[in-house]
Chain A
Amino acid sequence: MNSLAFLAAVNLVIWVGLFAYLWRIDRRISRRERER
């Protein structure tokens, strides 16, 4: 694997992690909004 492909893979992993984190927070906020 060349260095550019490696960098792309690292960035993709970081993005998927960030997306999952944001998704979880979004669901938590939505739940609180419904309970309000």
Chain B
Amino acid sequence: MKILKLLLLPAMGATIAGAFLWPEPAAGFLGESSRIVFFHVPCAWTASLAFLVAAGYSAAVLVRGKAWHDDLAASAVRVGLLFAALALVTGSLFAKIMWGSYWNWDPRESSFLLLLFLYAAYLFLRTAIEDPARRRRIAAAYALFAAVLMPFLVFVAPRVTQSLHPQTVINPEGRVLMDTPTKTVFFASLATFTGLFLWFLSLDARSARLQREGTSPAGNAEGARRVAVI
């Protein structure tokens, strides 16, 4: 595991350098704005993956009732929300450059915002229930319900009407419409963001377990709060 974490340092470094310096800007986009695809899409992908992971651990909670699975599910949602927010911010920057406004009520923007609200509600729900066993069960049921809606919000709703959003990687042609340098950096970025997500998930879930068991990872309450928001 330590080797994989260490590998993230050069992998993300190479991805960043490649994203800015290797592929030519894509045709049909203003200036260098197309380079945001190397960060925006991996953020959206990581958020979707995190919500699926949360659904998997939530199902495990309902079957086995283990607190550790609940820690992992809640951590996956927290990390997923972080990446979903980053996807929205990077998308808004792109929208400002391409369409002149940070927010255009585009179907894809709106459906992704709804996804963010859907999972933010999961965290509010958790804070509203004091009994840990009841919180685990209800939060797990909600996460499974949200996971049923998630593919609709990510894949179906944005395609129902016309959208300003550029053609996505999953498109009607059924192939990746990118040149080789763009494709290489793009898939490297997807892989490194996935690695970063797994590290965030591990840190947050282990920190949550220490807090649940009464051992603060930072040695004091303030430090525990700080670590818990990673």
Alpha-carbon gap, A17 to B150, bound state (A): 33
A-side interface mostly: helix
Check B21 against A4 for contact (C-beta < 8 Å). yes
Q: B216 contacts A8, CB within 8 Å? A: no
Q: Given A15-B12, A19-B9, A36-B213: A29 and B227 within 8 A (CB)?
A: yes
The residue on B at minimum CB distance from A8 is: B20
Contact present for B16 and A8 (CB under 8 Å): yes
Q: Do the beta carbons of A8 and B206 come within 8 Å of each other?
A: no
- Knowing A22-B199, A28-B227, A29-B210, the reply to whether A35 touches B215 (Cβ < 8 A) is yes
Whether A32 contacts B20 by the Cβ 8 Å rule is no
Which of chain B's residues has its CB closest to A28's CB? B217
Which chain A residues numbered 19 to 36 have a C-beta less than 8 Å away from chain B?
A: 19, 22-23, 25-26, 28-29, 32-33, 35-36
Bin the interface of chain A by size.
10 to 19
> Are the CB atoms of A16 and B9 closer together than 8 Å?
yes
Given contacts A26-B5, A26-B203, contact A4 B20 (CB under 8 A): yes
Instruction: Verify A33–B20 contact, CB threshold 8 A.
Output: no
Task: Classify the interface of chain B: helix, strand, loop or mixed.
Answer: helix
Residues of chain A lying within 8 A (CB to CB) of residue B32: 4
Which residues of chain B are within 8 angstroms of A7 by Cβ–Cβ distance? 20
User: Nearest A residue to B202 by beta-carbon distance?
Assistant: A26
**A16 partner residues in chain B, CB cutoff 8 A:** 9, 13
B199: chain A residues at CB < 8 Å are 22, 26
Closest to B226 in A: A25
From the candidates B17, B216, B217, B218, name the one contacting A12 in the complex (CB within 8 A). B17
A4 and B217 CA atoms in complex are apart in Å by: 39
B132 to A: closest C-beta gap in Å: 19
Beta-carbon nearest neighbor of A30 in chain B? B206
- Chain B residues, Cβ within 8 Å of A32: 210, 215-217, 219
> In the bound complex, how far is the Cα of B9 from the Cα of A19, in angstroms?
7
Scan residues 108-163 of chain B and give those whose CB is less than 8 A from a CB of chain A. none
A33→B17 contact, CB < 8 A = no
Query: Would A33 and B21 count as touching, CB distance under 8 A?
Result: no
Q: Top 4 A-B pairs ranked by shortest CB distance?
A: A8-B20, A29-B217, A11-B16, A32-B217
Please name 14 further chain A to chain B contacts, defined as beta carbons within 8 Å, in addition to the given A5-B21, A29-B207, A29-B210, sorted by A numbering: A4-B20, A8-B20, A8-B21, A11-B16, A12-B17, A19-B8, A22-B199, A26-B202, A29-B206, A29-B227, A32-B215, A32-B216, A32-B219, A36-B215
